Amino acid sequence: MEVFHQFYHLAGENFQMLNTAVVVLLPKKDGAAEINDYRPISLIHSVAKLISKVLSLRLATVIQSLISLAQTTFLRTKCIHD
């Protein structure tokens, strides 16, 4: 929840905080002792992806009232050919 609180209070100021990557070392096998026994995994922009997912889920509940009936392209239930 702290991530969402920080994002809400940025309000156009410093979005540098969202442009980060987290590197995690995952063990390839049990009892990993050397550096070759680990696999590096990078979580690039994971905070931005999480925030965009939450925003899209919230927008999905009201999208029907925001988009005109003539513009059905962005609605999940409509086809682009309609």
pLDDT tens sequence across 10-52 = 665 666 666 677 788 999 989 888 989 999 988 777 777 888 8
- Domain residues for the domain of 15 are 2-66
Per the structure, the count of domains in the chain is 1
Q: Is beta strand 21-27 parallel, antiparallel or unpaired with respect to 38-44? A: antiparallel
Is residue 72 in some structural domain? Answer: no
Is residue 59 in some structural domain? Answer: yes
Is residue 77 in some structural domain? Answer: no
Q: Give 54's contacts (C-beta < 8 A, 6+ positions apart).
A: 4
Is residue 73 in some structural domain? Answer: no
Query: Does the pLDDT of residue 72 top 80, yes or no?
Result: no
In the chain, DSSP finds a helix count (H) and a strand count (E) of 3, 2
Is residue 76 in some structural domain? Answer: no
DSSP assignment of 29-40 equals STT--SGGGEEE
Query: Does the pLDDT of residue 53 top 70, yes or no?
Result: yes
